């Protein structure tokens, strides 16, 4: 039961009678996994999506599953306008507003986004992107307009507006990609970015400011290499205790919320680790939820495979029971906030 809460899984299918949907529903019901993430392949239109999410949410009443999506605006919108959903501007456009009421304008944009998500049944948005756009040619952040701007002073208030608006709609958020993907020159979907020569201390500021405002529900650790955040040369921060310590430690952010992995099937991980090995390493390092998009393999039983690997790691001592208990405590606390509509607001 506790192990299952640490797994968030993508799945094939759109209709409740589809084998992939039935399989993932069973895994949610029996505690094999604790949440799902939806992609365009799962989405046809509003009516279909609402029916699907209602069925997924109905699998558990005691501990509701996370129903997550990447809905940033701009290039990353899983709910697409051509399928009848609202269109939202990119972070670059939102952050480029230089008017005095820019933060209010941003919050109204994200209020509309969050209301749509909540109305469909989502309770987690895998955003905001709080990467500082230090390399505009960055193929995965800057070039795609996913950053609010080139300084923490721009990124931080826009990110706060994003989170505040989602909290008002009772949708949890996940700030990403710690410790900062904005300076990278390669895409972690393809290979491991080395940010050791380009990363700046300023890239931690948006996380610090959100935490000070009580707006940091969860943090996504990116598949990035930097010796300050990596335990071994070439090991991603997402699999490293150093990155977690930078978030948790008294000398860091002193953050006690949920830590989420980036997709564990991205190239930066896949080129070196099996899914099972990556999941165990991430949990052992201190991540609370491991995310698997399950896009390419489309395996409806993949959640059981990861659950089995983590359970075996606990049994043979590679993963401590306390590590799972700590993750479970943080996850349940956030789910309880969603259940009682008590996510904090800064204003």
Q: What is the DSSP letter of 115?
A: H
Q: List CB contacts of 7: < 8 A, sequence separation 6 or more.
A: 32, 33, 34, 35, 279, 289, 290, 292, 303, 306, 307, 310
Q: Is 167 a catalytic residue?
A: no
Domains of the chain (ranges, CATH numbers): 3-340 (3.20.20.300)
What pLDDT band is residue 282 in, cutting at 50, 70 and 90? very high
Among all chains, which residue has been given the structure tokens 């495979």?
Answer: 305
Pairwise CA distance, residues 175 & 166, whole Å: 12
Torsion 133-139-143-145 (CA) sign: negative
Q: Which listed residue (194, 205, 217, 262) is catalytic?
A: 262
Please count the other Cβ atoms lying within 10 Å of the Cβ belonging to residue 161: 26
pLDDT of residue 240: 98
The three-state secondary structure class of 158 is: helix
Share of the chain above pLDDT 70, in %: 100
Pairwise CA distance, residues 123 & 125, whole Å: 7
Pairwise CA distance, residues 130 & 125, whole Å: 14
pLDDT of residue 252: 87
> pLDDT of 8-53, one tens digit each?
999 999 999 999 999 999 999 999 999 999 999 999 999 999 999 9
Strand partners of residue 9: 36, 292
Q: Are strands 35-38 and 7-9 parallel, antiparallel or unpaired?
A: parallel
> pLDDT of 46-62, one tens digit each?
999 999 999 999 998 88
Q: For the whole model, what pTM was predicted?
A: 0.97
For residue 204, give the nearest of 170, 252, 249, 169 by alpha carbon: 252
The three-state secondary structure class of 259 is: strand
Answer yes or no: are the C-beta atoms of 166 and 346 closer than 8 Å.
Answer: no
> pLDDT of 48-104, one tens digit each?
999 999 999 999 888 999 999 999 999 999 999 999 999 999 999 999 999 999 999
- What does pLDDT average to over the chain? 97
Q: What is the DSSP letter of 179?
A: T
> pLDDT of 231-249, one tens digit each?
999 999 999 999 999 999 9
Pairwise CA distance, residues 66 & 100, whole Å: 36
Q: Is 181 a catalytic residue?
A: no
Answer yes or no: are the C-beta atoms of 253 and 211 closer than 8 Å.
Answer: yes
Q: Which listed residue (189, 231, 299, 326) is catalytic?
A: 189
Pairwise CA distance, residues 113 & 106, whole Å: 11
């Amino acid at each position: 039961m506790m192990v299952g809460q640490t797994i968030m899984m993508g799945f094939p299918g759109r209709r409740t009678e589809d084998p992939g949907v039935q399989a993932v529903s069973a895994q949610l019901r029996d505690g094999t996994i604790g949440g799902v993430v939806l992609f365009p392949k799962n989405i046809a239109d509003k009516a279909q999506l609402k029916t699907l999410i209602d069925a997924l949410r109905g699998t558990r009443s005691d501990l509701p599953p996370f129903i997550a999506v990447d809905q940033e605006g701009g290039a990353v919108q899983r709910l697409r306008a051509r399928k009848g959903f609202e269109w939202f501007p990119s972070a670059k456009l939102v952050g480029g507003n230089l008017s005095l009421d820019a933060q209010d304008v941003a919050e109204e944009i994200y209020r509309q986004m969050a209301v749509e998500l909540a109305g469909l049944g989502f309770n987690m948005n895998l955003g905001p992107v709080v990467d500082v756009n230090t390399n505009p040619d960055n193929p995965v952040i800057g070039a795609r307009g996913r950053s609010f701007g080139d300084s923490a002073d721009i990124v931080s208030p826009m990110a706060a507006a994003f989170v505040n608006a989602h909290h008002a709609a009772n949708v949890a958020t996940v700030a990403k990609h710690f410790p900062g993907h904005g300076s990278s020159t390669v895409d972690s979907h393809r290979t491991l970015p080395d940010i050791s020569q380009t990363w700046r201390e300023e890239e931690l500021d948006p996380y610090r400011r959100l935490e000070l405002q009580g707006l940091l529900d969860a943090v996504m650790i990116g598949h990035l290499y930097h010796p300050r955040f990596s335990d071994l040369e070439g090991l991603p921060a997402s699999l490293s205790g150093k990155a977690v310590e930078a978030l948790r430690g008294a000398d860091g952010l002193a953050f006690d919320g949920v830590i989420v992995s980036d997709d564990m099937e991205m190239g930066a991980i896949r080129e070196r680790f099996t899914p099972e090995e990556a999941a165990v390493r991430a949990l052992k390092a201190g991540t609370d939820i491991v995310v698997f998009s399950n896009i390419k393999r489309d395996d409806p039983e993949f959640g059981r495979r990861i659950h089995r690997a983590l359970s075996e790691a606990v049994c043979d001592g590679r993963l401590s029971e306390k590590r799972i208990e700590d993750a479970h405590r943080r996850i349940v606390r956030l789910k309880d906030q969603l259940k009682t509509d008590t996510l904090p607001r800064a204003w």
